[in-house]
Chains A and B, each alone.
Chain A
Amino acid sequence: MTGYIIRRLIYGLLVLVGVNVFTFALFFFVNSPDDMARAQLGAKRVTPEAVEKWKRERGYDKPLFLNEKMLGTAKVTNTVFFEKSARLFVFEFGASDQGRNIGYDISTRMWPSLAVQLPAFIIGLLVYISFALMMAFFRATYLDFWGVVLCVLMMSISGLFYIIGGQFIFGKLWNLVPISGYDTGFEAIKFLALPVLIGVISGIGGNARWYRTIFLEEISKDYVRTARAKGLSETRVLFRHVLQNAMIPILTGVVVVIPLLFMGALITESFFGIPGLGSYTIDAISQQDFAIVRVMVFLGSVLYIIGLILTDISYTLVDPRVRFS
């Protein structure tokens, strides 16, 4: 298993290099260092000298990928790409284009993201699986039919509608929770209740349908018929046998997102004023702060790779037949 993980990590490293190159090329395809400088220096009275100076001080005056004026390895190392990206691999995030320490910002902003995402994820998972199991239990009945109709309806509605509707109903009409905002400690609960609730509700449609499909596929297998033939109750069949055997596809979708919970939710954070990493990324994109965009994309890739490895490991825990080779 150790060998497998090391091999996956090496593959991951190559993926990270690719992601970095791709992000870098994409960003500079849309923005030039001049654009970045102007975005940071403001809209008024920006002189070409100030732009040049800004670029020079941040190393954006160098060639992007290949420095023809240099010799040997300096041709590659004395470039914007190498200088801005190589440090990421040792998790040195450096400063944003506005001069703030990115590592520090991430360490403070990941917690609000997690505070919303983690409860929404756990509660959501329980609700989705329960709802899906219920539909599977009542399969081919009106309950199942209307459950599926409800799911299709819910997944057809835009996420933004849930947010604005939720804010209107719970925050404005019923005055039960603050419409937006955030606080730390115990006070955070009243701010988190609505985004978590909306996070869960908005995911019911798609997720419950997905899990229902998985469960129905399992239910039609021979071992389930055998279990029933042995006289096991339907509850026992569903929870002890079907659920356990459906774990592989469930884990495939679930474990991979666990590390990404840190990264936050873009629209939710923006509408609820939650100071997480989702809004951090959005702000950086709108302000053309490449240093932050680069770090966030890198971090997202790292967490995704970790998620994939954890998923593989989790397979061995739920299904003893799975072995790494």
Chain B
Amino acid sequence: MTCNRSATLLLFFALTLALTAGCGGSAWNDPYPAADAGANTLYTSFSERPKHLDPVQSYAENEFAFIANIYQPPLQYHYLKRPYELIPFGATEVPKPVYLDAAGKSLPDSAPAERVAYSEYVIRIKQGVKYQPHPAFAIDESGKPRYLTLTAADLRGIDTLGDFKHTGTRELEAADYVHQIKRLAHPRLHSPILQLMGEYVIGLKDLADQLTKVAAGLPEEASVDLTQYAVSGVRIIDRHTYAVRVRGKYPQFAYWLAMPFFAPVPPEADRFYDQPGMAKKNITLDWYPVGSGPYMLTVNNPNRQMVLERNPNYRGETYPAEGEPEDGKKGLLADAGKPLPFIDRVVFSLEKEQIPYWNKFLQGYYDASGIGSDTFDQAVQFSGGDITLTEDMVARGIRLQTSLATSVFYLGFNMLDPVVGATPGERARKLRLAISIAVDQEELISIFRNGRGVPSHGPIPPGIFGYRDADAKGINPQVYDWVNNQPQRKNIEQAKKLLAEAGYPNGRDAKTGQPLLLHLDTTSSGADSKARLDWYINQFAKLGVQLVIRATDFNRLQDKLRRGTAQLYFLGWNADYPDPENFLFLLHGAQGRAQTQGENASNYKNAEFDRLFDRMKHMANGPERQAIIDRMIELLRHDAPWVWSYFPKDYTLHHGWVFNRKPNQIANNGLKYQRLDPALRVQRRREWNPPVVWPLVLIGVVLILSAVPAVAAFRRRERRTATMVQS
């Protein structure tokens, strides 16, 4: 009887599950609300909460992923064209600098850099552009700002920006761009580019000094009203035009104009967020951006989810009609001329771990994914030397895109070190070169990066002006030979010969007979890193040199680099903008980390290199600039302050319902160009995620069946007469 009842219950349970599983709606494992299933929403993720969303402070890629789609700086990069090309965004055209001498007289474009005292950029912005709806612009019936004079009582019941009932907008003005430039000098905002821009933008440093004094005299909660101050080198010409005067020739300034640092911020936003009580509720510009770009941030819960929604006031931008030659064949020009953005919402979910992210991508709950080392074999395979998707990925309609990152990774030598540095002169140079030959980058890329990288022959990555292909003329002749029409790493015997010439035959000091010990400071730890570090030890061992790994945390490594006490170290650099200056400055003498706390962590100093750098940085791209860069790279290859390691190659996957994706290593505002087929996504998700309920039923049956003898034993015991039980 009991068994019959249990069986009936089980059958009922199984039927219920099966019926529930079969009845439409979203899949059981769908992490999104069922109502959003067919929505024109892109699903992606973030792994670390952004520290800053204020465009004057933000300087990290994970922050730009949001604000580059919200704010509208004067310029942006063309989505499809390569090499990267600046095009207007908030501006009507890319400004051409006017060169002026010290007296303020115009100079021809060909004027030498020494004669140019100032460059003036006159920027005309588009008319009729409007900000996203925001409470800072809300006005009441009498036309006065509704929320700019709030009291503590008004803020009762307000916890987020969405709690303000009214919003408004207004037209974008040149004054907003100027306001943001002033914000760079705000003493409480700590813009990371203040010092750099202070050297170039006329009057910015003076304003920073002035504001520092003003802020020091104010109570902590009082705000600094920037509208009361001016930057002498920045002026508003009319409602839609402003001019920025920079010191000397600084062609890279145009690239900075494409970054959120120079995006417009309305003064109303500062007034709104600076009101007493706002910061206590975490309602700040750093948390709730106010932009005029294609998207606006409507949900900011970096603990769980961040949501960008189409800015209803965004108009006038269309999908590009030109690109690279293959773009047409790839379907990247199919939407030419159509208004942007295509996608209504972009949901960023917090996903800290790679495994859940990857599995959710395969279930169709994320639209795109990178490929981690753990999942590499699952995603791609090598066939005939080419990298292709695995059958499973192809069957799912997943597509692969590869691109070379505008980044460089290297093993650096500290040139202040008495063994590997500049002091021992030629001896140390040969030692560095011997190590450069011995450390087999091709093997490293093959073993530890699954082939995702290109060995570097210099500091400038592909896609940046100044880069030379590794052909007969472009290879690093200190490390490679040109054999059978391809670069071939020099023989280890040549490295040993160099080592002997350096005074360390077979890795021992010729004078003392002591083995040569070198120390590598690294923040890498864990099982994966251990294999890689062991590999490095073996590479040095090929020369008989003993490499000692000194595991250290990030702070200690930075401290050692600042004090110039590290011997060997790993570092990398991501481009701020696509100009060789942004890579070569990493080895400029004036940037020496130990002396000036600059970005030259190797403390490399070469008078000729520095002189050429100072010339090159002012020049426009052309044969003359290329010739100077070639010479600079020749010097670097000769001196070998870095072991030229590799340029990483990025692999990304996306589902068949995502269109117009093209990797862009410099720009971060690519969301507006992407398009979706949500109906296909719904269909695929259903196909891929049917709930499997039979194991639950089976578990239930097993539990019940196993309970039967236990119950029987229990009853037997209960009925038994008392006995002595030994426990």
Name A residues whose Cβ lies closer than 8 Å to a Cβ of B.
30-32, 34-35, 38-50, 53-54, 57, 95, 98-101, 104-105, 108-109, 112, 134, 137-141, 143, 164, 167-168, 171-183, 187, 190-191, 216, 219-220, 228-229, 231, 233-235, 270-273, 275, 279-280, 283, 287-288
Contacts and interface: CB of A to CB of B under 8 A. Distances in A.
Nearest to B159: A104
Given A171-B29, A273-B351, A140 B51 contact: no
Nearest to B709: A143
Question: What is the predominant secondary structure among interface residues of chain B facing chain A?
Answer: loop
A175 B692 contact: yes
Interface of B: 27-31, 33, 48-49, 51-52, 59-60, 187-188, 190, 192-196, 212, 279-282, 284, 286-287, 301, 303-304, 349-353, 355-356, 359-360, 362-363, 365, 553, 555, 558-559, 576, 597, 599, 689-693, 695-696, 710, 713-714, 717-718, 722, 725-727
Contacts of A287: 51
Contact of A47 (B195, B301, B353, B559): B195
A171 B359 contact: yes
Given A46-B192, A49-B195, A273-B356, A233 B718 contact: yes
Contacts of B353: 180, 270-271
12 contacts: A30-B555, A32-B559, A42-B51, A45-B195, A50-B194, A167-B356, A175-B692, A176-B28, A179-B363, A180-B351, A181-B31, A271-B356
A315 B628 CA distance: 82
A176 B29 contact: yes
A44 B353 CA distance: 26
Contact of B599 (A38, A45, A271): A45
Given A45-B192, A45-B193, A283-B49, A174 B282 contact: no
A229 B723 CA distance: 10
B280 A101 contact: yes
Nearest to B49: A283
A280 B710 contact: no
A262 B692 CA distance: 34
Given A104-B280, A104-B281, A174-B695, A134 B710 contact: yes
B282 A164 contact: no
A283 B187 CA distance: 27
Contacts of A191: 31
Contacts, number: 169
A174 B29 CA distance: 9
Contacts of A41: 190, 192
Contacts of A220: 727
A216 B726 CA distance: 10
B713 A138 contact: yes
A175 B686 CA distance: 11
Contact of B59 (A44, A108, A174): A44
A228 B717 CA distance: 13
Contacts of A95: 279
A1 B355 CA distance: 52
B31 A143 contact: no
Contact of B51 (A40, A101, A173, A174): A40
Contacts of A30: 553, 555
A141 B720 CA distance: 15
Contacts of B31: 178-181, 191
The winner among B553, B691, B722 for most chain A CB atoms within 10 A is B722
A45 B196 contact: yes
B33 A187 contact: yes
Contact of B356 (A40, A174, A179): A179
Contacts of B696: 174, 176
Given A38-B555, A45-B193, A174-B692, 16 more contacts: A44-B192, A49-B195, A137-B717, A143-B710, A164-B355, A171-B359, A172-B363, A174-B693, A175-B29, A175-B692, A176-B696, A270-B352, A271-B353, A279-B352, A283-B48, A283-B49
A58 B483 CA distance: 60
A53 B187 contact: yes
Contacts of B195: 45, 47, 49-50
A32 B304 contact: no
B350 A273 contact: yes
Contacts of B193: 45
B727 A140 contact: yes
B359 A235 contact: no
A42 B718 contact: no
B349 A275 contact: no
Nearest to A180: B356
Contacts of B356: 167, 171, 179-180, 271-273
Given A167-B355, A191-B31, A143 B692 contact: no
Contact of B301 (A140, A229, A275): A275
Contacts of B691: 174-176
Contacts of B693: 174, 176
The winner among A54, A182, A233 for most chain B CB atoms within 10 A is A182
B359 A100 contact: no
A37 to B, nearest CB: 9
